[in-house]
Amino acid sequence: MTTQHLSGKVALIQGGSRGIGAAIVKRLAAEGAAVAFTYVSSTAKAEDLQNSIISAGGKALAIKADSADAVAIRNAVNATVETFGRLDILVNNAGVLAVAPLEDFKLEDFDQTLAINVRSVFIATQEAARHMTEGGRIINIGSTNAERMPFAGGGPYAMSKSALVGLTKGLARDLGPRGITVNNVQPGPVDTDMNPASGDFADSPVGRYGNVEEIASFVAYLAGPEAGYITGASLTIDGGFGA
């Protein structure tokens, strides 16, 4: 049985309808938090997730919001506060992966990578910080590819995840005096729709892909009361993939 470490807390997860994001939503709800989460196109999955949490006695709110749209991001933060009365935890999980040979990489894909993987993190954090008080938690979902890019065509993706390392450090300086921590979780290969375990990237010392629950448990720890002295950190959870 999951301990209710987050009872009374309110969380917003950017990109929470499937994969790692959905696992984070479920875990934070299981630990007692009221959870709002954004989605773009997976309406049925988002509604099912919201309803399953409510049916289990929790509080949940699915918000349709494109993380490439600054207004939509700000509105999602404000809708969370209006619905649940506060905001304690922000998880920036929305992300895209575009891979192509350098000569063929489309500029619009490059721009979208930056807009969703980096710009949305800044916008959501800026807006969330207006509402957070001491004990607030901001957790970015980066990637082990910030440190190791093992295949061609992924340069812009690796760059976007490397950018989160520096952004996390800077935001930790900005918000530390207010008692708000900012950290960056860097998963390695995790079995999701975007990167199924039937793929080619399980050459880690443990010899397998991670599962979404393992990432969610790490996020839940950083969101909880015992992680108050961790900030500005990029923490890798990749089975040794980058070793």
Active site residues per annotation? 157
**C-alpha to C-alpha distance for 200 and 49, rounded to whole angstroms:** 30
Sign, CA torsion 12/186/170/173: positive
**C-alpha to C-alpha distance for 107 and 112, rounded to whole angstroms:** 9
Q: Which of 187, 198, 85, 191 is nearest to 131 (CA)?
A: 85
34: helix, strand or coil: strand
39 forms beta bridges with 64
* Look-up of token digits 């989605």: 39
* Look-up of token digits 């984070």: 24
Whether 99 contacts 73, CB under 8 Å: no
Q: Listing from the earlier edge strand, what are the strands of the sheet with 181-187?
A: 60-64, 34-39, 10-14, 89-92, 137-141, 181-187, 234-237
**C-alpha to C-alpha distance for 151 and 164, rounded to whole angstroms:** 20
Residue 60 CA, distance from chain mean position: 17
**C-alpha to C-alpha distance for 197 and 209, rounded to whole angstroms:** 6
